[in-house]
Amino acid sequence: MTLIKSISGIRGTIGGQVGENLTPIDAVKFASAYGVWLKQQRQKENYKVVVGRDARISGKMIQNLVMNTLIGLGIDVVDVGLSTTPTVEVAVPMEHADGGIILTASHNPKQWNALKLLNEKGEFLDAVEGAKILDIAESDTMEFADVDSLGKITKNKAYIDLHIIEVLDLDLVNVPAIEEANFKVVVDGVNSTGGIAIPLLLERLGVEVVKLYCEPNGHFPHNPEPLKEHLTDLSAEVKKHNADFGIVVDPDVDRLAFMDENGDMFGEEYTLVACADYVLGITPGNTVSNMSSTRALRDVTEKHGGMYEASAVGEVNVVNLMKKNKVVIGGEGNGGIIYPDAHYGRDALVGVALFLSLLADRKTSVSELRKTYPSYFMGKKKIQLTPGLDVDGILKAMVERYQNEQLTTIDGVKIDFSESWVHLRKSNTEPIIRIYTEAKSQEEADALGDKFIAEIGEIAGI
């Protein structure tokens, strides 16, 4: 299968050949490199790393390999067990730890897993630091601790509860209004840790919860990417139970999508738009999302008197631009909410609480709320990479072909037309070229994607 090394972490499929997949040897190798890097960076006497995982079948195996590698380096480990990515991010500064590792492959199918690496702030490493870890992994300079200097593992299963308390304490989360609204919500936890965290949060907010696939056993009942075509069961349950809306998260709970009371998608892109609308209405300011996200965030931001800017794709790139522009909310169009008052990481728990606060404030249905936002339609297509496919050459050819249009090349190639746009880039997490499009109708967005697939095929001779 494959092993991908990027700023998003070390991601691969379980089993197969060493160096080509995420095998036990690869897990130990990259955990070792991270531990060595951390000691070089922090240069202190004692070290601590928080480690948690989603509910993937391979999760316990990979976590044990990673934790025992770290203690072999003389690093203490806080084992938070079944957790969420944002929960581990919150736990790192709470523990005064030197870093964190989350074992999750996000939206990828069950055969995948990954090591997502955090710094002492509980934030993802940037490309420079990530490159240092990859260099260390390929070197012969890693040195482990002697028997009297081994680290120790401490278990702490309280962090989902502590994370929820942090969310409920946010100034903009209107707990009394949410409780008074008496919402009923169906939650699809894709049989991972969202099935633990999201219902607990909702129950603390006085929301009636109908659970769907909330058993954290790692057997994903559908493709875990929270897209419309994967969520027919959620749609049926929302209608069956006359729920106010549905919630779905990905396996590590950093992506969030809603379904309205009619069983129709609110639109993954509009998760951030709605949360930003609520936040900006109370605390005006600027916003950031990545280049593959909807124009609707720009429109809503400008309506509230703020400024919008797009970053390169990748959470760390979004966060860096958010800090630079001192934004009040940002994130990614894949349902990733980053709210600095909480922490600098995508957080579905924060998104749920802000969305509920918005609904309670507006006293409207989810379908009616959606009508208040500009209507754009996103197309998301991809081309599988094959040996010999010159991605850089293809993108360069596209720049030349569309040189008279508005171009952005900080991350692949984005071509802005007057009523639509297309973004072509090599994925950080899968061996594919992503082709994102947006237009005034779904048909136009899909047609634009098909047009560029054909053009790439023409350029590449495939």
Kindly list the catalytic residues.
Answer: 106
Instruction: Find out whether 352 and 198 touch, Cβ atoms under 8 Å.
Output: yes
Round to whole Å and give the CA distance between 4 and 22. Answer: 9
What DSSP letter does each residue of 20-46 carry, written as one string?
A: TBB-HHHHHHHHHHHHHHHHHHH-SS-
Which amino acid, residue 222? H
CA torsion sign for 410, 413, 417, 422 is negative
For residue 332, give every residue at least 6 positions away whose Cβ sits within 8 Å of its Cβ, in sequence order, or none.
Answer: 272, 289, 290, 292, 293, 313, 315, 318, 338, 346
Contact 238, 386 (CB under 8 A): no
The C-alpha atoms of residue 404 and residue 386 are separated, in whole angstroms, by 30
DSSP string covering 68-116, please? HHHHHTT-EEEEEEE--HHHHHHHHHHTT-SEEEEE--TTS-TTEEEEE
Which phi and psi angles does 37 have, rounded to 5°?
-60, -45
Q: How far apart are CA 55 and CA 218, in angstroms?
A: 5
Q: In terms of Cα–Cα distance, which of 96, 9, 82, 89 is closest to 48? A: 96
Longest CA–CA separation in the chain, Å: 66
Q: How far is CA 201 from CA 80, 144, 166, 234, 356, in A?
A: 18, 41, 11, 19, 11
